[in-house]
Chains A and B, each alone.
Chain A
Amino acid sequence: MSVLNLFRKRNSASAARDRLQILLAHEKTSGPASALLFTLREEILAAIAKHVDVDQTKVNVNMKREETYSIVEIDFEVPEPLPVSRLRVAS
């Protein structure tokens, strides 16, 4: 990033560049995200299922990719109240 960038007007072209840089960096380094997420989800659910009943249809996996990290959220409903109902795994 050069000093000139500091003075450059924030326009849609720089938004395009930033979005593509983040996207392509992830696609090149991490391969198919879904394979990892699928494994994570299955293993986390299996661990939880040892202790409580989890309805497999009420599991949601959300993802937010940033430049240097990703946030994966796995939300699921459990039949009775638990102290923790949300897992947050940073990869």
Chain B
Amino acid sequence: MGEVVVVTSGKGGVGKTTTTAALGAALAAAGDTVCVIDFDVGLRNLDLVLGAERRVVFDFINVIQGHAKLTQALIRDKRLENLWLLPASQTRDKDALTEEGVEYVINDLRSRFDWVICDSPAGIERGAALAMRHADLAVVVSNPEVSSVRDSDRIIGLLDAKTERAERGEGIPKYLLLTRYNAARASRGDMMAVEDVLEILSIPLLGIIPESEEVLKASNVGSPVTLSNPASRPAVAYAEAARRLRGEDLGEVVVPVHKNGLFGKLFGRNAA
């Protein structure tokens, strides 16, 4: 049985879709079978970030309404044969995403794939609730910025109350992925420090993704950043987060430091 992961945040624009694509591609490149699902009905974008937008025929809602078989709606990635996408509907009413339909699709995918990664819409409404509902594990994406951290705290509360695992009393493992981390600003004290965010949210850290122009370049060309430039800093950080998800013990997450700062000179690490 595969693992169902929800990538969620509450706040929009923090990097959920980028993260879903990058983690999905990294897990698939490591040899696992992966299906990424776009839950953002009406505002789908995972297809665009993965470069599959011209190949969408059927979508999640078509499957739920019985107009297409699940296997017909799945789009196989052109670069990684283990990576598949279930696109959201762009035009239908988001109420078409029913609880029973989502449960059926997730259970079916869970039996076919090692990983089912649900890209949650922003907000705390129906779409976000359904995306997290059947998750075995949550990746909470946050920027080191007050409104993002506050919304992440809210989402953590919902994960502990509204998921199936929480309702069964099992609790749901939650991991923080800190994105758009700018080591230069952090070294000047202009950005919340990693330890501050961790203390506020009190969930374990999965990784720190440095702010980088590579992320924008990757979405421009429709490729997960782990594929478009695997040697880039965000790609390396995402690949490491994927290895942690696969259960590898990599020790503590290393906080990126700024190369022009005293710390960077002393320890020779590069900036974001």
Our verdict on whether A and B bind, yes or no, reads yes
Contact A60 to B72, CB < 8 A, known contacts A23-B53, A38-B62: yes
CA distance A37 to B57 in the complex (A): 7
Interface size on A, residues (CB 8 A): 24
Distance in angstroms between the alpha carbons of A23 and B47 in the assembled complex? 11
Q: Which residues of A contact B58 (CB under 8 A)?
A: 34, 37-38, 61
In the complex, A31→B221 CA distance in Å? 25
Using A12-B220, A16-B219, A31-B91 as known contacts, say yes or no to A63 and B54 having CB atoms under 8 A apart: yes
Which residues of chain A (20-71) have a CB below 8 Å from chain B?
Answer: 22-23, 27, 31-34, 37-38, 57, 59-66
Min CB gap A42→B, angstroms: 9
Q: Number of B interface residues, CB 8 Å?
A: 26
Asked if B90 and A13 make an inter-chain contact with CB atoms under 8 angstroms apart, the answer reads no
A-B CB contact pairs (8 Å), 8 listed: A34-B59, A34-B67, A37-B57, A57-B71, A59-B72, A62-B55, A63-B57, A65-B54
A19 within 8 A of B: yes
Would B55 and A23 count as touching, CB distance under 8 A? no
B residues contacting A by CB (< 8 A) are 48, 51, 53-59, 62, 67-69, 71-72, 89-92, 216-222
| A60 and B74 alpha carbons, distance in the complex (Å) | 10
Q: Is the CB of A1 closer than 8 A to any CB of chain B? A: no
What is the CA–CA distance of A63 and B53 in the complex, to the nearest angstrom?
10
Q: Report A-chain residues with C-beta under 8 Å of the C-beta of B71.
A: 57
Q: A3 contacts the other chain (Cβ, under 8 Å)? A: no
Which of the listed residues A12, A15, A22, A23 has the most CB atoms from chain B within 10 Å of its own CB? A12
B144 → chain A, closest Cβ, in Å? 26
Determine the residue in chain A with the shortest Cβ distance to B69.
A57
**CB of A83, distance to nearest CB on chain B (Å):** 25
Q: Who on chain A is nearest to B54 by CB? A: A65
Sorted nearest first, the 5 A-B pairs with minimum C-beta distance are A12-B220, A16-B220, A65-B54, A12-B217, A32-B91
> Is the Cβ of B54 less than 8 Å from the Cβ of A22?
yes
Minimum distance in angstroms from B109 CB to a CB of chain A: 17
Cα–Cα distance between A50 and B89 once the two chains are bound (Å): 32
